[in-house]
A and B are shown apart, each in its own frame.
Chain A
């Protein structure tokens, strides 16, 4: 019983890590793409100095 609880809570924690990891990956990629790579004039102008600082391809 005790072993069961431990293994199930371990499974929950592992799946929580995986779920959080996937959400973080999608959200992070969306933000990085918007700041660094999106081909929109408004975003380019606003993020101009940031894009250059991080060495994103620019112009």
Chain B
């Protein structure tokens, strides 16, 4: 029976994880690729902008299309670092060599399966340890969808208030500080949404709200310099794409999990 619970969780996670790859290729991956053209080389362009403020070359770079032919040469020079960036910057994004010799797509498929399985197991763990029952049939799917929505809230939306989903080339903040804040925020938001949604006592619900708000009152790690070479339009599009795509993932995961776990429960009662 233990194994059947685990298999149910894993199956839901793997199916949702498998669906994530094509979903990412609609919007997320194209935006990441676009942003990578600004990454690395972007910092050179930003420093030119900062230190050479007001010079004609910078103006030529910014308004390239409108400049007269005489400025064309300076314009290409300024633009060059940005277009060469993907080759030049220090770390690889899975294009070439990789652990298993798969390409970028293969790596992403595998990583999505692992992430799906991991999130599926953790969501199932929450359901099993908190003794959330799914009922039967459509009711199980409906409750699973709500559980998935709660997972999306805790893992995607709540941390995104402080650390919006990043594109490559975003302003740099200490990675460890961000990861620590992210983990604490996910844990507190998960506990908070549970208290708010499933505990009847008003004091528990209030405590839940406090837990959800606390990491934001404390504040996420902020960059010293918020300027970035990545265009704001891409970043805004990316945030929406990331939250929307992961909402699809969590709803699919939750719905499947509700269905599968209710089947395990039914099988056990016979």
Contacts and interface: CB of A to CB of B under 8 A. Distances in A.
User: Which of A27, A44, A53, A54 has the most CB atoms of chain B within a 10 A radius of its CB?
Assistant: A53
A25 to B, nearest CB: 4
Contact of A55 (B93, B119, B160): B160
Interface in A15-37: 16-25, 27-37
B121 A45 contact: no
Interface residues of A, number: 42
Contacts of A42: 98-99
Question: Which A-B residue pairs are the 5 nearest by beta carbons?
Answer: A31-B118, A28-B121, A21-B128, A28-B122, A20-B5
B130 to A, nearest CB: 8
Contact of B165 (A18, A45, A48, A52): A52
11 contacts: A16-B1, A21-B124, A21-B129, A24-B128, A25-B125, A34-B114, A39-B175, A49-B104, A55-B156, A57-B163, A57-B178
A37 B179 contact: yes
B34 to A, nearest CB: 12
A59 B99 CA distance: 19
Given A17-B128, A22-B129, A49-B29, A32 B115 contact: yes
Interface in B1-45: 1-2, 5-6, 9, 20, 24, 28-29, 32
Contacts of A44: 91
Contacts of A46: 94, 98-100, 107, 110-111
A11 interface: no
Interface residues of B, number: 61
State the majority secondary structure of interface residues on A. helix
B184 interface: no
Given A46-B110, A47-B107, A59-B172, A53 B92 contact: no
Contacts of A30: 118
Contact of B131 (A17, A36, A39): A17
